[in-house]
A and B are shown apart, each in its own frame.
Chain A
Amino acid sequence: MTSEQPQALVKGELTLVSRETQVKEWLLAALFFSCAFVAVLGVALIFAFVGWKAWPILSDVGLSEFLLGRVWAPSDGSYGILALIQGSFVVTLGALALGTPLAVGTAVFLSEIASPGMRSVVRPAVELLAGIPSVVYGFFGVVLLRPIIGELTGSVGFGPLTAWIVLAIMIVPTIAALSEDALNSIPMGIREASYAMGATQWQTIYKVVVPAAKIGIIDAIILGMGRAIGETMAVLMLVGNAPQFFAGVGEPISTLTSQIVMDMGYSTGTHRTALFGMAAILFVISMSLVLAVRLLSKLRD
């Protein structure tokens, strides 16, 4: 876009505009730049403040005892979050395992099989569902799913299985919408070439279209993973919030996000710094996922 900038304004070779106008234009450009810089400032501030509040957990308890400690019992002075980290990954990976096939299948269906009329109904519906608040999904899980799962597993119904199902439902719209974008960006000619060689629709899909859109689909899955690992309210309402290691699909566990909310209300001192430490870890994880997506797209170019 910058190429079309009038050279007179950049280099000042021509004085078609007054000095006053030039200064005004320059000031406006500086203002726009500072607005854009707010995003950088925001990330830096999050790092600084969460890190600042979390620092004492590193200096008082130590990184290895914090990350690798097996017992989370702040009242006894045990600040080990290994079980919570495991819980976060158990919940996220289970939700991905359930949700990804469904989401990618839906995306392929929408982009390759559905008629335009059907697409124009289903696609907006999927996008709309990405906007449903997580607390509503959590509520839905509590009132409808929890009793069923409780019956099946012979427990109260709070635990990984309930969280997996609800979280899978939550990430399907995200992954499906982004995967469909990736599939739609594949030129029609590639499909036509495949059909011309006598391939069936399915052969075209899994040998030509999906491999071509592979990186875009992986991006979508990574972003879905980011959504799942950072998800707070729905997980909080469904996992049971017992800070222990995974012991079965019906046994309550806890995650980084849910434990923060459980303890934030009453925590003080070192306990509170530990919660900020957990937030810092979540922030680092989510930024690494963004970084992974960027590296992948470099690969594609």
Chain B
Amino acid sequence: MDKRVANNIAVAVLWVAASITVAVLGAIIVYVFVNGVRALSPAFIFTWPHGVHAEGGIWPTIVSTLYVTVLSMLICTPVAVLAAVYLAEYAHQGRVVSTIRFAADSLASVPSIVMGLFGFALFVEAMGIGLSMLSASLALSLLMLPIVMRATEEAIRSVPRYIRWGSYGMGATKWQTVSKVVLPAAAPRVITGIVLATGRAVGETAVVFYTMGQAIWLPISPLESGRPMTVHLYLLAVEGINLPAAYGTALLLMLMILGFNLGARWILKRYRKV
């Protein structure tokens, strides 16, 4: 076959592959949006579900999701950022560092059901915290840890060396250089990583299923149980009850994650200096 004909055919095939990908994924979004937008209303967002078919709104599930997400972000961020500071600024390459990296990669790939059972065994049962926001946040923060660690480490590594030299040249210690010069310069990308990891936490189902429970409840203290939006959607979908509410919940979830992603992009664009 003439090489130009072969080229045209191959390029056409690649066009088709990319179009199918975009079309399928676009179709999912449009489908959920079209069906979900009818259910969305202030009443749907701000009232409680009631009755056997979970009529009404989904307010407690939204609060539970946001509660557990914010709490896991607060637990995860300091540890992950300082861990990345260690890897990028302090560590000597060697067995310890490669063990830490392997552990972080493994943590990033743990199936969520395994993390769920682990959280249940350790936090809920062994430590006696029970099905609660705190148990769920601890398990989720372990899931978010490698994501934030990697983003922070890459951000720190992308800070130019001469900025550090300037700081050292003025007599600053290592910690002063890291805390006053390197981290502020890396901040936008660190925050982007945190926001993206938080988006992961919002969409997580199996982990929170076994660590938070599924009671419809408005959590106040971190030791209280609740039902996140993902679990609510799952229960509505498998029981086949109240499909409009399921569509509405799915759409809200997707909008929240879209918000997190766009937010992360905006931060990166707006404040990026390095």
Contact = CB atoms under 8 A, between A and B. Distances in A.
B114 interface: yes
A229 B112 CA distance: 11
Contacts of A136: 28, 32, 203, 233, 250, 253-254
A197 interface: no
17 contacts: A4-B165, A17-B173, A32-B82, A32-B83, A39-B83, A42-B103, A106-B21, A109-B17, A110-B18, A125-B26, A127-B261, A138-B234, A169-B24, A233-B230, A257-B113, A260-B117, A290-B106
B85 A122 contact: no
Contact of A40 (B16, B31, B100, B121): B100
Nearest to B261: A128
B89 to A, nearest CB: 6
Contact of A106 (B17, B78, B84): B17
B205 A201 contact: no
Contacts of B274: none
Given A109-B18, A133-B205, A200-B3, A260 B113 contact: yes
A134 B205 CA distance: 8
B229 to A, nearest CB: 9
A139 interface: yes
B18 A106 contact: yes
Interface string A90-134: 000000000001110110111011100000001011111101111
A18 B145 CA distance: 35
A1 B149 CA distance: 17
Contact of A200 (B6, B15, B115, B203): B6
Contacts of A266: none
A287 to B, nearest CB: 5
A176 B21 contact: yes
Contact of B168 (A4, A169, A226): A4
A252 to B, nearest CB: 14
B203 A135 contact: yes
Q: Which of B6, B230, B243, B250 has the most CB of A within 10 A?
A: B250
A24 interface: yes
A105 B7 contact: no
B20 A102 contact: yes
A31 B86 CA distance: 9
A39 B126 CA distance: 20
A188 interface: no
B10 A202 contact: yes
A32 B85 contact: yes
A196 interface: no
Interface string A169-208: 1001100100000000000000000000000111101100
B250 A139 contact: yes
Given A2-B91, A136-B253, A232-B111, A237 B18 contact: no
A126 B16 CA distance: 16
A39 B32 contact: no
A156 interface: no
A73 B41 CA distance: 46
Given A226-B109, A287-B106, A42 B142 contact: yes
Q: How large is the interface on A (under 10, 10 to 19, 20 to 34, 35 or more residues)?
A: 35 or more
B121 A50 contact: yes
Contacts of B161: 4
A137 interface: yes
Interface in B71-112: 78-80, 82-92, 99-100, 102-107, 109-112
A171 to B, nearest CB: 11
Contacts of B25: 125-126, 129, 169, 172-173
B188 interface: no
A49 B121 contact: yes
Given A53-B121, A261-B113, A33 B86 contact: yes
B18 A25 contact: no
B145 A237 contact: no
A42 B139 CA distance: 10
B212 interface: no
A129 B24 CA distance: 11
A144 interface: yes
B37 to A, nearest CB: 15
Interface stretch (A62-70, A76-84, A147-155, A274-282): A274-282
A35 interface: yes
A38 B104 CA distance: 9
B70 interface: no
A294 interface: yes
Nearest to B256: A133
A223 B15 contact: no
Interface in B139-196: 142, 145-146, 149, 157, 161, 164-165, 168, 171, 173-175, 196
A159 to B, nearest CB: 16
